[in-house]
Amino acid sequence: MVKEVVGVKVYNVWLDMIRRLVPGGRTHRLSVVVAGMLQYALEISHEKEDSNAKAKKLAKLFEAVCEYYDDGDIDPAIELTEDLFMDAGVNHERVSSRGESYSLAEEAVREFLAWGNMPWEN
């Protein structure tokens, strides 16, 4: 669905970036890059939602995730992000130095949701 909204050219650039950056990249940096991709997809979905059914569906997905974030229901956005990693052929699952499993896709969604948070401006 994201590819149809942002366009094949943009989506393919994202896949290439993920393929090249994720395998050796640091999670705290990569999650922000992927969150930026999600922010872009959100912006484009809003621009196109009046004339494009998939854009409207994507915009509604993002709105629902943002609305219910406090309730912990961010799974639709995580699944969308996991699909991005899958399309790139890159694993989003990681293990920390302490042996704890975590998801780069989930970390990216959390960065997406915190995109506008700047506590130093309050």
What pLDDT score was predicted for residue 92? 93
Domain presence at residue 121: no
- Residue 70 DSSP class: G
Helix (H) or strand (E) holding 26, with range, is none
Distances (CA, A) of 94 to 3, 13, 103: 25, 23, 6
If the chain, 122 residues long, is cut into consecutive pieces of 10 residues, what is the mean pLDDT of each piece? 95 96 88 96 95 94 81 84 96 90 93 79 60
What pLDDT score was predicted for residue 23? 86
Please measure the distance between the N-terminal and C-terminal CA atoms of the chain and give it in whole angstroms: 36
Total domains present in the chain? 1
Domain presence at residue 7: yes
Cβ burial 65-88 (10 Å sphere, 16+ → b, else e): beeebeeeebeebbebbbebbebb
- Pick the closest to residue 77 from 34, 16, 21 (CA basis): 34
Domain presence at residue 29: yes
Domain presence at residue 16: yes
pTM value? Answer: 0.89
Enclosing domain of residue 101 = 2-115
Domain presence at residue 10: yes
Domain presence at residue 122: no
Domain presence at residue 120: no
Domain presence at residue 81: yes
What pLDDT score was predicted for residue 119? 63
